[in-house]
Structure 1
Amino acid sequence: MTYDDTTILLFRNTMRITDGHLEDFREAIARAVAFAQEHGPQLMVQTFVDEERMLAHSFQLYRDSDAVRTHWRLADPYIQEVMKHCEVERFEVFGEPDADVAAGVRSALGEGEAVTFHPRLAGFVRFAPGGE
């Protein structure tokens, strides 16, 4: 399988967990990640919680913009469930998505300072796509 890591996209989503929603947030994230592991196109998903600050950080690695679109199509109910318990504080896209995905991110999150795009400079991937 050929693999072009110049199309790779890394999303970092920083979410502010709503007061009193920590356990519901944890459960919604666990369901969403389990679904993504079973059905999603992501190469990697990791979510971390800072209980003291009531922040969560989610990292998702995609092969390309097509994989992001697939994720959106499949996971929307899970995303909506998570968003009942938090709000996006900051969303960062590392890599260069196509115009459609960039517009989708901006549309979902608004044009404000909460969304930033960082073009790729250099890098590599050591683990095999699709592997566990």
Structure 2
Amino acid sequence: MTAQDDTTLLFRNTMRITDGHLESFRDAIARAVEFARRHGPQLMVETFLDEERMLAHSFQLYRDSDAVRTHWRLADPYIREVMEHCRVERFEVFGEPDADVTAGVRSALGEQCPLTFHPRIAGFVRLAGEPRT
């Protein structure tokens, strides 16, 4: 296992979309994801919609805590725009962020939703085009 594997973080954010805001939410998410694709430090961003329950699930994979801090600094206006159309219902952190990122997540969420941390046991990331050995 490499040091990178030890620092990898996966965030899962479950958002409850505000009634009447579905299309605005979709547009804001599309802009935020496109910004992250072009400028963000994430290794992966995927967002899925459960329209029947008005829930969205966002997964973001980061190399380490420094990448999370970079994301927060760059994407704040996009995060605020998305949050105009939803509220966080649950937030899960897979991996072990440093104390600064842990405190930042706790502070940002406050008491609005359950927050859980899950330590890593094992795994890998296969980048596109990377051969299997």
Pairwise TM-score range, normalised by the shorter structure: over 0.9
Q: What amino acid does structure 1 have at the position aligned with 2:103?
A: A
SS at match of 1:4: helix
Q: Give the whole-Å Cα distance in 2 for the aligned partners of 1:20 and 1:107.
A: 28
Residue in 1 that maps onto 2:32: 32
Residue in 2 that maps onto 1:121: 121
Residue in 2 that maps onto 1:64: 64
C-alpha contact 2:89 2:112 (8 A) present in aligned 1: no
Can you give the 5+ residue segments of structure 2 that lack an aligned partner in the other structure?
A: 129-133
Q: What amino acid does structure 2 have at the position aligned with 1:74?
A: L
Structure 1 position 15 matched with structure 2 position 15:
yes
Structure 1 position 82 matched with structure 2 position 82:
yes
Q: TM-score, normalised by structure 2?
A: 0.92
Can you give the 5+ residue segments of structure 1 that lack an aligned partner in the other structure?
A: none
Residue in 2 that maps onto 1:107: 107
Identity %: 83
Q: Give the whole-Å Cα distance in 1 for the aligned partners of 2:79 and 2:112.
A: 21
Q: TM-score, normalised by structure 1?
A: 0.92
Cα deviation, residue 126, structure 1: 1.2
Aligned length: 127
Cα RMSD over matched residues? 1.4
Cα deviation, residue 3, structure 1: 6.7
